[in-house]
A and B are shown apart, each in its own frame.
Chain A
């Protein structure tokens, strides 16, 4: 009925296609699909198209060049395969297809396939997250080891520990590392070391554990690719160093562990520092702290000395003494100058006295001059008119006197 169409939302083709695409992408974001490959075609850009079939259905598949280059084998019609990818919609054709990211040949790589699935799952759960990785202690008070007592790994680890830090404490929790029951034993051993640790005092705690085994075939190492082991490592409160003896591919245990060592020997080196190195460093710090403190104290003494010195300069007694000294100096100088001055004045006086005596009238007499006095008055006669005949005069010579009577006045 046309009225019903009005009441409902009417999609455009693009809208409904978009919605379908969203639904498919959300539902099949990461899936594995098994089937037989057929109808392979390549286009010049490198993209490969093919169909994946079983006896009832067909799924179109696309492999983009970046994934093509990662393929370890060549795609061929008729090959049974398991394909990992996402389902999406090619809007222009209105067709859904599998955008393949990984292709495993069926049968040959089933172990590998399981591993990939597990890795994907654990990765999604965050078991491999770098943020989760814990620091390995520098000098663990006790090291835990989970491995077989029969393998080469335990000997290698103990040998290295003995060389680097002879008397470090070790607790081994033995576990089978290959074959039936290995994964359960390894997981249990990791759990038990954690439980044992709960009873231990701080100074005795297991601070790191090595979980691993020596090298072997991929099947021998398989226990370390098992989910149980991965989860036990993840749940361990004690940091874990994985040591699965093979350098190439990483096992799942390696991916979950806080630190991955390529071999058990390397793991031992990573958890145990060299004792001599630590001793040397500690000695260095010990003398460093003593020297630093002595220097510090010396610095205090020096500044104390300097302050004391500066204080002395401002001591009032000292200042007074300085003034007294200065005053004393001045008095001495004054005395010295005064005596000079007095001597100078004395000699000047003597000279003047001599000059004075040469001016005495008596001295003139010695040169033949004489002085005449009127007697008895004793007045010096300077004018003849002051005298008259008959007056008595006295003449003073250089030596002696003459008494005479005036007979004539001119």
Chain B
């Protein structure tokens, strides 16, 4: 469940709601779908809320290794 893209999770969730609304499921199926749906909505919420604002600038050090440094916004306004 962790390796799912936001839009895939959202699409799956939409389908589950649709399936449940149709109503021709067995209780077992409905429960399973409900649980899956709740899990998906949890994942989506997490994706929306857990994002931490971070703007980095990619640089290379002398050895040619990647280094991420926070963007100095002041510089942009110059």
Interface residues of A (CB under 8 A from B): 137-139, 141, 149-150, 154-155, 158, 165-174, 189, 192-193, 195-196, 199, 202-203, 207, 275, 278-279, 281-282, 285-286, 288-289, 292-293, 295-296, 299-300
Given contacts A282-B10, A292-B21, whether A167 and B30 have CB atoms under 8 Å apart is no
- Chain B residues whose CB sits within 8 angstroms of the CB of A174 once the complex forms: 57-58
Q: Do B53 and A168 touch across chains, with their CB atoms under 8 A apart?
A: yes
Q: Do A171 and B48 touch across chains, with their CB atoms under 8 A apart?
A: no
Q: What's the Cα separation between A309 and B67 when bound, in Å?
A: 73
Q: Do B56 and A170 touch across chains, with their CB atoms under 8 A apart?
A: yes
Q: Do A295 and B23 touch across chains, with their CB atoms under 8 A apart?
A: yes
Within 8 A of A (CB), among B25-49: 25, 27, 30, 34, 37-38, 41, 44-45, 47-48
B5, B23, B44, B55: the one contacting A282 at CB < 8 Å is B44
The reply on B75 being an interface residue by CB < 8 A is yes
- Chain B residues whose CB sits within 8 angstroms of the CB of A172 once the complex forms: 55-58, 71
Q: Do B38 and A289 touch across chains, with their CB atoms under 8 A apart?
A: yes
Contacts A/B (CB < 8 Å), 9 sampled: A138-B10, A141-B51, A168-B51, A172-B58, A173-B58, A207-B5, A282-B10, A285-B14, A296-B30
Q: Do B57 and A149 touch across chains, with their CB atoms under 8 A apart?
A: yes
Q: Do A196 and B66 touch across chains, with their CB atoms under 8 A apart?
A: yes
Q: What's the Cα separation between A378 and B69 when bound, in Å?
A: 159
Q: What's the Cα separation between A230 and B16 when bound, in Å?
A: 42
Q: Do B23 and A296 touch across chains, with their CB atoms under 8 A apart?
A: yes
Q: Nearest chain A CB to B49's CB is how many angstroms away? A: 9
Report the 9 A-B pairs with minimum CB-CB distance, sorted nearest first: A138-B7, A292-B20, A167-B53, A139-B6, A289-B37, A173-B58, A288-B17, A170-B55, A167-B51
Q: Do B20 and A296 touch across chains, with their CB atoms under 8 A apart?
A: yes
The reply on B63 being an interface residue by CB < 8 A is no
Chain B interface residue number, banded: 35 or more
Given contacts A139-B7, A149-B75, A282-B44, whether A169 and B30 have CB atoms under 8 Å apart is no
Q: What's the Cα separation between A171 and B77 when bound, in Å?
A: 18
- Chain B residues whose CB sits within 8 angstroms of the CB of A202 once the complex forms: 2-3
Q: Nearest chain B CB to A94's CB is how many angstroms away? A: 64
Closest A-chain residue to B41, C-beta based? A286
Q: Do B21 and A285 touch across chains, with their CB atoms under 8 A apart?
A: no
Given contacts A149-B75, A289-B41, whether A139 and B47 have CB atoms under 8 Å apart is yes
- Chain A residues whose CB sits within 8 angstroms of the CB of B54 once the complex forms: 169-170
The reply on B62 being an interface residue by CB < 8 A is no
Q: Nearest chain B CB to A304's CB is how many angstroms away? A: 11
Q: Do A171 and B68 touch across chains, with their CB atoms under 8 A apart?
A: yes
- Chain A residues whose CB sits within 8 angstroms of the CB of B77 once the complex forms: 155
- Chain A residues whose CB sits within 8 angstroms of the CB of B5 once the complex forms: 137-139, 207
Given contacts A138-B10, A139-B47, A275-B48, whether A203 and B55 have CB atoms under 8 Å apart is no
- Chain B residues whose CB sits within 8 angstroms of the CB of A158 once the complex forms: 55, 76
- Chain B residues whose CB sits within 8 angstroms of the CB of A207 once the complex forms: 5
Known: A189-B58, A292-B17, A296-B23. 6 other contacts (CB 8 A): A139-B5, A139-B47, A169-B51, A282-B45, A293-B20, A293-B30
Q: Nearest chain B CB to A220's CB is how many angstroms away? A: 19
Q: What's the Cα separation between A333 and B11 when bound, in Å?
A: 72
- Chain B residues whose CB sits within 8 angstroms of the CB of A279 once the complex forms: 48
- Chain B residues whose CB sits within 8 angstroms of the CB of A295 once the complex forms: 20-21, 23
- Chain B residues whose CB sits within 8 angstroms of the CB of A199 once the complex forms: 66
- Chain A residues whose CB sits within 8 angstroms of the CB of B66 once the complex forms: 192, 195-196, 199
Q: What's the Cα separation between A398 and B34 when bound, in Å?
A: 112
Q: Nearest chain B CB to A149's CB is how many angstroms away? A: 6
Closest A-chain residue to B37, C-beta based? A289
Closest A-chain residue to B66, C-beta based? A196
Q: Nearest chain A CB to B38's CB is how many angstroms away? A: 7
Q: What's the Cα separation between A199 and B55 when bound, in Å?
A: 18
Q: Nearest chain B CB to A239's CB is how many angstroms away? A: 13
Q: What's the Cα separation between A169 and B17 when bound, in Å?
A: 30
- Chain A residues whose CB sits within 8 angstroms of the CB of B25 once the complex forms: 296
Q: Nearest chain B CB to A19's CB is how many angstroms away? A: 57
Q: What's the Cα separation between A167 and B60 when bound, in Å?
A: 25
